[in-house]
Amino acid sequence: ENSPAPLPERAIYGFALFLGSWFGFMLYLIWAYVPETWLFSLGLTYWPQKYWAVALPVYLLVVIGIGYVLLFGINMMSTAPLNSTDTVTDNYAKKQQRKKFQEEAIPALRDIPISEVNRMFFLPEK
Amino acid sequence: MEERRYLSASGARIALRHRQHSASCGELAVRCPRLRLRSLSAATSAAWLAAYGLFVVTENSMVLSAAIVIMLVGLIMYLHFVKIDQESLLVIGSLGIQVTSSYASGKESTTFIEMSQVKDVVINEAIHMQKVIYYLCILLQDPGDPQGVSEVVPLFQSSKPRLDCLIEVYKSCQEILEQRKTPPQSS
């Protein structure tokens, strides 16, 4: 039911969004460029100050720039420190059930404890 | 007792000294590089040149004396609290593990962990400051759950040896820790 194929409803939504965004852009240009006296003579007196026509795009660009730094910082803060048990295990590994060992079958997939992994890697088998 | 040279994770030269006192007692010490005279003089000259520049701009001679005092106090605090000279690990099979850090000013800080609390000593990999590093850590036993780990104590935090040095330390620790499982031969 959730295929990405084009449907008539999706075409209508897309066209409505297209018209809406063009209308919004034209409105923004009119508000930014048409002098205030002309707007007053038309009766449109309660529009925001034209200062915002420049301020809002600048705010948006600064937010995008800060967003890069913020994402980097959030990533660094969410990394587990070296002394936390999250580097060794987690809730799923603690609650896992061990399946019985069957002869001549591939062993079941499980989280191997770090002590076993270390022994296998670093202590040579005699 | 031999001393071998290795590299730390950041490329500095460190030395590992391994003393085996007996079959169940071993001491491993990692010595960090000393504070170099040229880096100290470079930092001092940079700070004093900046202070002199500030003096030329503000015409206030207090800036110069303040810079000298800050340099001296900062150097003493750095040697006493930050610069680690040697980190050592003493593993006594029946007693526990003692971790000692000695600072450049001579201060030593030790931590002792009793053997019944120690689950295992392992080499773990973790993300640290945009790098993935190997580090040795002591896993402490969870009193309620025999399979669980209650705490992770990372070792050699300032010298950060690389994997070849860590494997040496790991092997000597495991030789001593393995004797815990088998009961002592003499009764």
pLDDT in tens, B54-71: 999 988 888 899 999 999
Is there a domain that residue B57 lies in? yes
Kindly state whether residues B53 and B102 are assigned to the same domain.
no
Contact B159, B84 (CB under 8 A): yes
Is there a domain that residue B142 lies in? yes
Range name among A57-61, B31-35, B144-148, B180-184 with the lowest pLDDT average: B180-184
Contact B31, B51 (CB under 8 A): no
Query: In this model, does residue B183 exceed pLDDT 80?
Result: no
- How far is B78 from chain A, CA to nearest CA, in Å? 23
pLDDT confidence of residue B145: 83
pLDDT confidence of residue B187: 47
- What is the share, in percent, of chain B residues with pLDDT greater than 70? 97
pLDDT confidence of residue B185: 60
**Residue ranges, chain A, pLDDT below 50:** none
Nearest CB neighbour to B152, from listed A87, A94, A119: A87
Is there a domain that residue B186 lies in? no
**Are the Cβ atoms of A122 and B154 closer than 8 angstroms?**
no
Residue B129's domain spans which residues? 2-35+83-181
Contact B149, A89 (CB under 8 A): yes
- How far is B51 from chain A, CA to nearest CA, in Å? 32
- How far is B53 from chain A, CA to nearest CA, in Å? 33
**Are the Cβ atoms of B170 and A118 closer than 8 angstroms?**
yes
pLDDT confidence of residue A45: 83
- What is the share, in percent, of chain B residues with pLDDT greater than 90? 75
pLDDT in tens, B89-139: 999 998 999 999 999 999 999 999 999 999 999 999 999 988 899 999 999
Closest CA to B140 of B161, B155, B156, B162: B155
- How far is A62 from chain B, CA to nearest CA, in Å? 25
Between A75 and B186, residue with greater pLDDT:
A75
Domain end: B82, B113, B140, which one?
B82
Is there a domain that residue B90 lies in? yes
Kindly state whether residues B120 and B159 are assigned to the same domain.
yes
**Are the Cβ atoms of A83 and B119 closer than 8 angstroms?**
no
- Average pLDDT over chain B, rounded to whole? 91
Is there a domain that residue B187 lies in? no
Q: Quick one: how far is CA B143 from the chain centroid?
A: 28
Is there a domain that residue B64 lies in? yes
Kindly state whether residues B74 and B129 are assigned to the same domain.
no
Kindly state whether residues B53 and B7 are assigned to the same domain.
no
* CATH code of the domain containing B110: 2.30.29
* Residue of B149, B155, B162 to mutate when probing chain A, most A C-beta within 10 A: B149
**Are the Cβ atoms of B124 and A119 closer than 8 angstroms?**
no
Kindly state whether residues B52 and B101 are assigned to the same domain.
no
Number of domains in chain B: 2
Query: In this model, does residue B186 exceed pLDDT 60?
Result: no
Q: Quick one: how far is CA A14 from the chain centroid?
A: 23
pLDDT confidence of residue B82: 92
Q: Give me the interface pTM, i.e. the ipTM.
A: 0.78
CA dihedral angle for residue A56, residue A58, residue A64, residue A69, rounded to 10 degrees: -130
pLDDT confidence of residue A52: 92
Residue of B nearest to A89 (CA): B149
Contacts of A122 in chain B (CB under 8 A): 123, 167, 170-171
Rounded to whole angstroms, how far apart are CA atoms B77 and B131? Answer: 29
- Give me the total of CB pairs closer than 8 Å, taking one residue from chain A and one from chain B: 51
Is there a domain that residue B101 lies in? yes
